[in-house]
Amino acid sequence: MPSSLSARHSDAALVGVSSALGCFMIWGLFPIYFKLLNHVPALEVLAHRILGSAVLLVVLILGRKQGALLLAVFRNKRHLRFYLLTTLLISTNWLLYIWAVQTGRILEASLGYYINPLVNVILGVLFLRERLNRRQWSAVAIAAIGVLVMVIGAGVFPWISLSLALSFGSYGLLRKKAKHAAMLGLCVETLLVTPLALLFLMLFATRGISTLIGNPDGQHDWLLLAAGPVTVVPLLLFLQATQYLRLSTVGLIQYLTPTLQFLLAVVVYHEPFTSIHLLTFGCIWLALTLYGIDAYSSHRPRNETALRPIAAQRDPRR
Q: Which value, in Å, is the radius of gyration of the alpha carbons in the chain?
A: 20
> Do residues 271 and 262 make contact, with C-beta atoms less than 8 angstroms apart?
no
Three-state DSSP at 229 gives: helix
Q: Residue 303 pLDDT > 70, yes or no?
A: no
Three-state DSSP at 270 gives: coil
Looking at residue 311, its pLDDT comes to: 41
Looking at residue 308, its pLDDT comes to: 46
Three-state DSSP at 128 gives: coil
DSSP letters, 94-142, are: HHHHHHHHHTT-HHHHHHHHHHHHHHHHHHHHHHS-----HHHHHHHHH
Q: Residue 284 pLDDT > 50, yes or no?
A: yes
pLDDT tens string 169-200: 899 888 877 777 888 999 999 999 999 999 99
Average model confidence (pLDDT) across the chain: 85
- How much is the pTM? 0.84
